């Protein structure tokens, strides 16, 4: 067979192979494009599911009335921060645990709001006030509804002095916050003596007042009762928990209220917010 004939024969034989290769190439590109599109859809679905999970977790951790963290989230956060503070004593070779403050805040005066506006609107007032209080703390802090008109603030890396500054600012904000108004006319000016609401705050600090959640909550509750006994619109620092209270907390007894409260460290009523900041009993639900 001559060379031209051989070339023609080879060309005739390779044409189907080339055509098949082209078809396979097109099919491969389609399959790769389909796989990429499928992977993209899968990533979008995963992101959607993650967003839904985050929303469910947030909903489960938020108080439905006020929109701030609920009691369950406060418990988990306090336990986590106490463990972190106590762990630092060993990992950072410190002389003791890192400071951690717990601030219990009780608002009074809502009976008049309920009587005037009803429970639904009073709930809106409480929500608005809670959102305002949440703006007065650092991002690292945690504010949640402890129940009714009581709130709890967890302040990591904060000692007594810093917690006192936060307490002053929160008490001042409750008294001076401009409450919601549903009147159709012009809004009335703020009363000279406040909005009719006041707050009392009790502070407990780790490790001075205890190194367990039950002890700290009990100490903050004692200090809150002392602030109430003083007339409210003020804050108090707790005296350290007694050995008996520490042993009861270690036996996992609930941190309930104690009937007798003596005066703890005092501070006069604040007339204005401090320049710097370190950083539930359902009635309306």
Q: Name the residue with higher pLDDT: 188 or 225.
A: 225
Q: CA 86, CA 211: separation in Å to the nearest integer?
A: 8
Mean pLDDT for all residues in the chain: 78
pLDDT at site 15:
63
Q: CA 122, CA 110: separation in Å to the nearest integer?
A: 8
pLDDT at site 223:
96
Q: Name the residue with higher pLDDT: 120 or 221.
A: 221
- pLDDT, average across residues 121-131: 93
Q: Name the residue with higher pLDDT: 184 or 209.
A: 209
The DSSP call for residue 277 is -
The set of residues, in sequence order, having a beta carbon less than 8 Å from that of 200 and lying 6+ positions away, is 105, 106, 108, 171, 224, 227, 228, 230, 232, 233, 234, 235, 236
pLDDT at site 93:
58
pLDDT at site 120:
86
Composition of the chain by helix, strand, coil, percent to 5: 50, 15, 35
Reported as a pLDDT band with limits 50, 70 and 90, residue 213 is: very high
Q: Is the pTM of this model over 0.85?
A: no
The set of residues, in sequence order, having a beta carbon less than 8 Å from that of 175 and lying 6+ positions away, is 194, 195, 197, 198, 199, 233
Reported as a pLDDT band with limits 50, 70 and 90, residue 244 is: low
Tell me: the pLDDT tens digits for 178-189? 888 765 555 555
- pLDDT, average across residues 147-163: 95
pLDDT at site 88:
77
pLDDT at site 282:
38
The DSSP call for residue 11 is H
Reported as a pLDDT band with limits 50, 70 and 90, residue 249 is: very low
CB 189 within 8 A of CB 222: no
pLDDT at site 116:
85
Reported as a pLDDT band with limits 50, 70 and 90, residue 272 is: very low
- pLDDT, average across residues 214-226: 95
Tell me: the pLDDT tens digits for 51-69? 878 776 777 889 999 999 9
Q: Integer distance in angstroms from the first to the last C-alpha of the chain?
A: 100
pLDDT at site 253:
42
- For CA atoms 169, 170, 176, 179, the dihedral sign is positive
The set of residues, in sequence order, having a beta carbon less than 8 Å from that of 257 and lying 6+ positions away, is 221, 225
Maximum pairwise Cα distance, the chain: 119
Q: Is the pLDDT of residue 276 over 50?
A: no
CB 216 within 8 A of CB 206: yes
Q: Is the pLDDT of residue 9 over 70?
A: no
């Amino acid at each position: 067979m001559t060379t031209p004939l051989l070339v023609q024969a080879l060309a005739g034989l390779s044409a189907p192979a080339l055509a098949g290769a082209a078809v396979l190439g097109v099919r491969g590109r389609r399959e790769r494009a389909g796989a990429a599109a499928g992977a993209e859809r899968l990533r979008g679905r995963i992101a959607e599911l993650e967003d839904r999970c985050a929303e469910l977790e947030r909903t489960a951790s938020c108080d439905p009335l006020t929109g701030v963290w609920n009691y369950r989230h406060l418990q988990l956060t306090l336990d986590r921060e106490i463990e972190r503070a106590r762990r630092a004593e060993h990992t950072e070779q410190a002389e003791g645990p890192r400071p951690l403050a717990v601030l219990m805040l009780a608002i009074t005066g809502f009976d008049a709001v309920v009587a005037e506006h009803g429970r639904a609107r009073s709930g809106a007032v409480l929500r608005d006030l809670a959102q305002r209080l949440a703006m007065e703390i650092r991002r690292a802090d945690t504010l949640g509804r402890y129940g009714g008109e009581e709130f709890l603030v967890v302040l990591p890396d904060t000692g007594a002095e810093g917690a006192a500054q936060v307490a002053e600012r929160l008490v001042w904000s409750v008294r001076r916050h401009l409450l919601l108004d549903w009147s159709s006319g012009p809004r009335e000016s703020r009363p000279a003596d406040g909005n009719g609401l006041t707050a009392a705050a009790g502070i407990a600090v780790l490790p001075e007042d205890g190194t367990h959640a039950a002890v700290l909550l009990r100490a903050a509750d004692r200090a809150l009762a002392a602030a109430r006994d003083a007339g409210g619109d003020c804050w108090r620092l707790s005296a350290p928990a007694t050995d008996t209270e520490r042993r009861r907390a270690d036996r996992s007894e609930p941190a309930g209220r104690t009937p007798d409260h003596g005066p703890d460290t005092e501070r006069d009523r604040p007339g204005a917010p401090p320049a710097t900041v370190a950083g539930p009993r359902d009635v309306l639900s």
